[in-house]
Amino acid sequence: MGKSTKLTPMMEQYEKVKAQYPDAFLFYRLGDFYEMFNDDAVKGAQILELTLTARNKNSSNPIPMCGIPYKAVESYINTLVDKGYKVAICEQMEDPRVAKGMVKRAVTQLLTPGTRTETGAENAKNNNYLTALEYDKDNQKYGFSYADLSTGELQVSVLGQIDTVINEIMNLQTKEIIVKDVPDKDIKIFKKLGILLSHQPDISIGNEMQHLTDNLINPLEKETVNRLISYIIKTQKRSLSHMKPASSYRPAEFLKIDHNSQYNLELTKNIRTNKKSGSLLWLLDETKTAMGGRKLKKWLDRPLIVKHKIVERQNSVQELLDHYYERNEISDILIKVYDLERLAGKVSFGSVNGRDLIQLQSSLEQVPKLRYEIASIDAKTFKNIYDNLDPVDDVSDLINSAINEEPPISVTDGGLIKDGYNLTLDKYRDAMNNGKKWIAELESKEREATGINNLKIGYNHVFGYYIEVSKANLNKLPEDRYERKQTLTNAERFSTPELKEKEKLIIEAQEKSKTLEYEIFSEVRDTVKQSINRLQKLAETVSTLDVLQSFAVVSENYRLVKPTLSDKHDLEIVDGRHPVVEKVMGHQSYVPNDVKMDPDTNVLLITGPNMSGKSTYMRQLALAVIMTQIGCFVAAKSAQMPVFDQIFTRIGAADDLISGESTFMVEMKESNEAIQNATNNSLILFDEIGRGTATYDGMALAQSIIEYVHNNTHAKTLFSTHYHELTELENTLKNLTNVHVGAVEKNGELVFLHKVKKGAADKSYGIHVAKLAGLPNNLLTRANDILQHLENSQNDNNVMNIEQEPVSKEKQVNEDNDAQLSLFSDKSNKENSNNSIKDNSIINDIKKMDLMSKTPMEIMNAVYKWKQKIEK
Query: How do 716-720 and 603-607 pair as beta strands?
Result: parallel
d(CA 2, CA 59): 6
d(CA 189, CA 751): 46
Q: Dihedral, CA atoms, 798, 802, 808, 814, nearest 10 degrees?
A: 10
DSSP classification of residue 211:
G
Ramachandran region, residue 754 (left: φ > 0; alpha: ψ -120 to 50; beta: rest): left
Closest CA to 326 of 361, 376, 283: 376
What is the crossing angle of helices 340-349 and 354-377, to 10°? Answer: 150
Residue 614 annotated in ligand binding: yes
Count of alpha carbons within 13 Å of 95, Cβ hemisphere only?
Answer: 2
Residue 152 annotated in ligand binding: no
Do residues 704 and 686 make contact, with C-beta atoms less than 8 angstroms apart? no
| Residues with Cβ within 8 Å of residue 742, at least 6 apart in sequence | 608, 612, 752, 753, 754, 755, 756, 757, 761
Residue 141 annotated in ligand binding: no
Residue 608 annotated in ligand binding: yes
DSSP H helices, 485-630, are 497-529, 532-557, 579-585, 614-629
| Residues with Cβ within 8 Å of residue 176, at least 6 apart in sequence | 112, 113, 114, 115, 130, 131, 195, 196, 197, 198
Residue 248 annotated in ligand binding: no
d(CA 729, CA 511): 89
Show the 3-state SS of 229-282. Answer: HHHHHHHHCCCCCCCCCCEECCHHHECEECHHHHHHCCCCCCCCCCCCCCCHHH
Closest CA to 717 of 675, 684, 760: 684
d(CA 135, CA 77): 32
Query: How do 483-487 and 86-92 pair as beta strands?
Result: unpaired
Do residues 143 and 136 make contact, with C-beta atoms less than 8 angstroms apart? yes
Residue length, the chain?
872
Residue 247 annotated in ligand binding: no
d(CA 575, CA 489): 87
Closest CA to 551 of 319, 306, 286: 286
Do residues 711 and 802 make contact, with C-beta atoms less than 8 angstroms apart? no
Cα angle 105, 110, 111 (rounded to 5 degrees) comes to 135
591-609 b/e with 16+ CB inside 10 Å = b? bbbbbbbeeebbbbbbbbb
Residue 825 annotated in ligand binding: no
Residue 613 annotated in ligand binding: yes
Q: Which residues pair with 565 in a beta bridge?
A: 641
- Binding residues, by number, are 608-615
Report the binding-site residues for ATP: 608-615
